Every structure is written in C-alpha cells, then in structure tokens.
Amino acid sequence: MKSSESFIESAFGETVTYSSSNTIGTFLNGDYLTSYVGSEYSGMIEPSTTWYLGTVGSGQSYRRAKYSSATGNDLTSNTTTAQVGLLRLGELMAGQFDRYGNNTSYWTLTSYTASSVRGVTSYGDANYVSPSDTLGVRPSMNLKSSVIITGGSGTKSDPFTIELSA
C-alpha cells in the first residue's frame, strides 16, 4: 500500500496475534478505511470477516498457515473478527506483485513463534520478525456478495470497477 509514492509501513503490534485493536489492526480498521478507502467503497466490504490465525514455524509448510498451533503439532481454530485483515503466509506472495519497484517487506497474519510474525520480503521470500518491527502493509478484505463488477478487465492498467447491486 502506497501513499504519495511511498510504501506505508507499520509495526504489527505488541504481540504476534492480529486483532482489530492491535497496532496494525487499528490502522487497517480505522484510518485505512476512512482515509484511503473512503465511504463509497468501505460500505462494499463485509463488516465482520473471520480471520484464521495459524502459525508456521521453521521447516513447516505454508499450507498449515490457517490452522497450525505455535508448536506446529496441533490444529487450532484461533480466529479474530475484523473488517480488514492481512493475507496469511502463502495466500499471495510478493512474486505475484510488481517486484520491480516493490522495495519493502510486508506483514502477514501468520505467526512464526510466540515472539515473531511472518513477513514476505521484497524478493518473495518468507521471513520472520519481531511484531515491534516496521514492515509494509497489504490490506485484505472480503467484498459483500452484493458487489458486482461494472467494468474494467481486472488488469493494472484497466482495473475492475465495482458497485453494490440494487
């Protein structure tokens, strides 16, 4: 996410658990919705999405990012509810973005241990950092089922246009 051609960066929070009230969650579900998305589009976002908070430790598959516990041995259903969240490790990696000019790493919802959170580097690699560190922000949200595509081809040069259906 950019503002004035600079990537927006934020600390994750005090702990490795995402919520709408931790540092990054407060930004995404507050200032981001009002100052960057605006009322025209924020009303198209599901107001209450369940975000799965799994852990992927060293040597574990990212496929477990939705349900793994901090030990990696137990399947959990740790969740939080918020309007805006972040992607989990493996859902959409940096290689699927414009890597040239993407000079920042960014947060995921996925923790690594009880004291570190997974991030994705500008090269598309997974890493782990302290939640008090500062990384880029890539918001994730679910649109309401009544949102329809009204135009565009979905490319960077011709993005979709959307609206709520009547």
Which pLDDT score is estimated for 8?
85
Report residue 149 as tokens. Answer: 């595509």
Report the DSSP beta bridge partners of residue 139.
86
C-alpha span between 77 and 51 (Å, rounded): 10
Distances (CA, A) of 104 to 5, 67, 119, 123, 146: 12, 27, 10, 9, 34
Which pLDDT score is estimated for 126?
86
Instruction: Work out how many domains the chain is built from and give that number.
Output: 1
Which pLDDT score is estimated for 74?
63
C-alpha span between 101 and 164 (Å, rounded): 33
Per-residue pLDDT tens digits of the chain, which is 166 residues long? 667 767 789 999 999 999 999 999 999 999 999 999 988 899 999 999 999 888 888 887 777 667 665 555 666 678 999 999 999 888 865 555 555 556 678 999 999 999 999 998 877 788 999 999 999 998 999 999 999 999 999 988 999 999 999 7
CB atoms within 10 A of CB 101: 10
Overall pTM > 0.95:
no
Q: Are 137 and 10 in contact (CB under 8 A)?
A: yes
What range defines the domain where residue 88 resides?
A: 2-164
C-alpha span between 25 and 21 (Å, rounded): 6
Contacts 24+ apart (CB under 8 A), 8-12: 8/136, 8/137, 9/104, 9/134, 9/135, 9/136, 9/137, 10/107, 10/134, 10/135, 10/137, 11/131, 11/132, 11/133, 11/134, 12/107, 12/117, 12/131, 12/132, 12/133, 12/135
Pairing of strands 147-151, 161-164: antiparallel
C-alpha span between 105 and 164 (Å, rounded): 33
